[in-house]
């Protein structure tokens, strides 16, 4: 069943929207965090949320209980609970492509859990296929792990077919012990990337995974063809043993010459696909049990999102804050600061998740929106960011809400490091909020700069799964309130078409019909 685009009120058409606007001009614009803590002794605990594997301190954000209640009212008026139920009911939320959005189905455990998504009543066949594919993929991963002859795995994929697996493999590095093999990720069409990897591997000990939902993406197909040519040129035999495909387009993989294929379905969006066969590199790195734990952590967050009242529902509360900052305060970016070097690719992963999902200027009916949508996401792991751009966060002219992620237990035994790391993450959040008076100007910190703190007990498969699912659902919620389709990505198409036209022109030098600037650049680059 397709979602009715008119079934839900768009945020700006709700009755509470003008009340929120008034609230912002009367109390939001001048809100002071230090004062708020002084006035409300329970503020820290009141704005803390305990979700599966993730504890969130939202108290250092620029809102009080009254504003939070108005935002919850906004969620109700926009039918957020019903939109969430449509997601877990398997409705075709992706209207422009007439597709269901069911990445959550990939994490439903085989034996009935405490919470069952409503759509399962109709999705028994799909769930059975999910589990059959998962079992086959995990069995393959275990065979690769046991195969002493394979020393290198090269994942060739881009966007959702790269960012999730790469981020998770780095994050779960310590679960991969003993590490007997190297995982490489090649995404860019820039041959430097593949070339560097190929220089360090041998055909007889390498497994190439060609990861592409569509199996048509130019970067991935160019890299895959070059890898196959290199393999043959180096005397490699047995393509069947050394290449596997992860795709919804099994036919195209076969036509490419790959027989070992792990499939998935068009109802899994690329940026939501690390739970599917696209997660094979993760399973090879950490093993089947850890991959199942990753799914279980995400499923626990699904259950939290589906069943927790809006006031205590972490994805909902994060999304409401995002709306408050973007549409009322006018903040145009959010900085992600994971204080764990294993999460160093998380900002890049979240960029695709949020900006490809919600970087839209029209609503579900295609009508231009009169308000701002996706913020720019950016960030680096702490403490590195502190020595680069935190100057701007503390004293710049723009206010940038920061999302800190801290992990209580270290997964290494080096003395002295972890306490420094944790002291720094707390200090940065404190400094942003408290500021510091100094008459001299240069040393003055205004403070009152907002941040959220997400705490994990440890970075393990279950907590990573929960953290990622949390972010998926938060993006879903803000998209639902904005009334946009968060599940298509037409904005990436035009550039692809133009590049197809320009590639032969760069070889021939033909500039006929091009705009003057592009023609000049083609002439410069030709030959
Ligand atoms: O061009 C954008 C995009 O379609 C992303 O949404 C997707 O994750 C990426 O390209 C890769 O697509 P595929 O997995 O089909 O190669």
pLDDT of residue 178: 66
Q: Work out whether strand 451-456 and strand 402-407 pair parallel, antiparallel, or are unpaired.
A: parallel
Residue 209 belongs to what domain range? 104-290
Test site for ligand 1: of 96, 99, 161, most ligand atoms within 8 A of the Cβ: 161
**Same-domain check for residues 167 and 72:** no
What does the alpha-carbon distance between residue 206 and residue 144 come to, in Å, rounded to a whole number? 11
Is 3 within a domain? Answer: no
Is 452 within a domain? Answer: yes
* Cβ count near 290 (within 10 Å): 18
What does the alpha-carbon distance between residue 269 and residue 137 come to, in Å, rounded to a whole number? 19
What does the alpha-carbon distance between residue 351 and residue 220 come to, in Å, rounded to a whole number? 20
Is 502 within a domain? Answer: yes
Is 5 within a domain? Answer: no
Catalytic annotation, pick one of 219, 354, 356, 403: 356
**Same-domain check for residues 145 and 222:** yes
pLDDT of residue 86: 96
pLDDT of residue 102: 97
Check which CATH number belongs to the domain holding 254 and give it: 3.40.50.10490
Does ligand 1 lie within 6 Å of residue 492's CB atom? yes
Q: Which atom of ligand 1 is nearest to the CA of 493?
A: 1
Test site for ligand 1: of 217, 274, 494, most ligand atoms within 8 A of the Cβ: 217
Q: Which of 252, 163, 153 is nearest to 209 (CA)?
A: 153
**Same-domain check for residues 169 and 250:** yes
Nearest CA to ligand 1 atom 16: 212
**Same-domain check for residues 438 and 513:** no
Does ligand 1 lie within 6 Å of residue 249's CB atom? no
H-state helical runs in 123-177: 124-146, 163-171
Is 153 within a domain? Answer: yes
> 3-class DSSP state for residue 136?
helix
**Same-domain check for residues 174 and 219:** yes
**Same-domain check for residues 448 and 480:** yes
Is 296 within a domain? Answer: no
pLDDT of residue 488: 97
pLDDT of residue 424: 98
What does the alpha-carbon distance between residue 136 and residue 516 come to, in Å, rounded to a whole number? 54
**Same-domain check for residues 323 and 444:** yes
Q: Work out whether strand 48-51 and strand 182-186 pair parallel, antiparallel, or are unpaired.
A: unpaired
**Same-domain check for residues 389 and 457:** yes
Asked if 356 is an active-site residue, the reply is yes
**Same-domain check for residues 109 and 85:** no
Q: What pairs with residue 210 in β-bridges?
A: 156, 245
**Same-domain check for residues 136 and 177:** yes
Is 128 within a domain? Answer: yes
Is 233 within a domain? Answer: yes
Say if residues 202 and 234 touch (Cβ distance below 8 Å).
Answer: yes
Domain count for the chain: 3
Asked if 496 is an active-site residue, the reply is yes
Nearest CA to ligand 1 atom 1: 492
pLDDT of residue 240: 85
**Same-domain check for residues 350 and 416:** yes
**Same-domain check for residues 158 and 20:** no
C-alpha 495 to ligand 1 mean position (Å):
13
Q: Work out whether strand 48-51 and strand 54-57 pair parallel, antiparallel, or are unpaired.
A: antiparallel
Question: Of the candidates 256, 290, 324, which is a domain's last residue?
Answer: 290
Does ligand 1 lie within 6 Å of residue 155's CB atom? no
Per-block mean pLDDT, blocks of 10 residues, the chain (527 long): 87 98 96 97 98 98 97 98 97 95 96 87 95 98 94 98 98 83 96 98 97 97 98 92 96 94 97 98 97 98 98 98 98 98 98 98 97 98 97 98 98 96 98 93 96 98 98 98 97 97 96 98 93
């Amino acid at each position: 069943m397709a979602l009715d685009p008119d079934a839900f009120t768009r945020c700006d058409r709700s009755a509470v929207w003008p009340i929120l606007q008034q609230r912002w001009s009367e109390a939001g614009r001048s809100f002071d965090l230090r004062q708020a803590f002084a006035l409300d002794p329970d503020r820290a605990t009141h704005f803390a949320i305990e979700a599966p594997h993730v504890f969130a301190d939202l108290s250092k954000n620029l809102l009080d209980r009254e504003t939070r209640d108005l935002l919850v009212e906004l969620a109700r008026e926009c039918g957020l609970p019903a939109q969430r139920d449509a997601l877990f009911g398997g409705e075709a939320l992706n209207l422009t492509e007439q597709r269901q959005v069911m990445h959550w189905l990939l994490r439903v455990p085989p034996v009935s859990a405490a919470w069952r998504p409503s759509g399962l009543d109709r999705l028994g066949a799909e769930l059975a296929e999910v589990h059959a594919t998962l079992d086959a993929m995990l069995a393959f991963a275990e065979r690769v792990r046991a195969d002493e002859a394979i020393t290198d795995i090269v994942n060739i994929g881009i966007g959702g077919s790269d960012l999730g697996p790469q981020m998770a493999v780095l994050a779960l590095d310590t679960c991969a012990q003993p590490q007997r093999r190297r995982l490489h990720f090649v995404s860019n069409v820039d041959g430097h990337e593949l070339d560097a990897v190929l220089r360090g591997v041998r055909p007889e000990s390498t497994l190439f995974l060609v990861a592409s939902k569509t199996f048509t993406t130019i970067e991935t197909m160019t890299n895959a063809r070059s890898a196959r040519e290199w393999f043959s040129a180096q005397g490699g035999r047995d393509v069947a043993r050394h290449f596997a495909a992860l795709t919804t387009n099994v036919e195209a993989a076969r036509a490419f010459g790959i027989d070992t294929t792990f499939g998935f379905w068009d109802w899994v969006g690329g940026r939501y696909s690390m739970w599917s066969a696209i997660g094979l590199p993760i399973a090879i790195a950490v093993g089947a049990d850890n991959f199942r734990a990753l799914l279980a952590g995400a499923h626990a967050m699904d259950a939290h999102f589906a069943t927790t009242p809006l006031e205590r529902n972490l994805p909902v509360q994060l999304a409401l804050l995002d709306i408050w900052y973007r549409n009322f305060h006018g903040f145009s970016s959010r900085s992600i600061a994971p204080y764990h070097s294993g999460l160093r690719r998380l900002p890049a992963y979240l960029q695709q998740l949020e900006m490809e999902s919600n970087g839209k200027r029209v609503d579900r009916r295609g009508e231009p929106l009169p308000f701002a949508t996706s913020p720019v996401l950016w960030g680096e792991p702490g403490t590195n960011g502190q020595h680069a751009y935190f100057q701007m966060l503390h004293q710049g002219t723009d206010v940038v809400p920061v999302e800190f992620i801290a992990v209580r237990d270290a997964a290494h035994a080096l003395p002295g490091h972890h306490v420094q790391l944790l002291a720094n993450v707390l200090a940065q959040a404190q400094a942003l909020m408290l500021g510091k008076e100094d008459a001299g100007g240069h040393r003055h910190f205004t403070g009152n700069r907002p941040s959220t703190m997400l705490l994990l007990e440890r970075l393990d498969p279950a907590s990573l799964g929960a953290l990622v699912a949390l972010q998926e659902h938060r993006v879903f919620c803000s998209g639902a309130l904005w009334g946009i389709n968060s599940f298509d990505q037409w904005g990436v198409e035009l550039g692809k078409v133009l590049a197809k036209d320009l590639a032969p022109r760069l070889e021939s030098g033909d500039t006929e019909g091009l705009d003057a600037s592009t023609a000049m650049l083609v002439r410069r680059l030709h030959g």
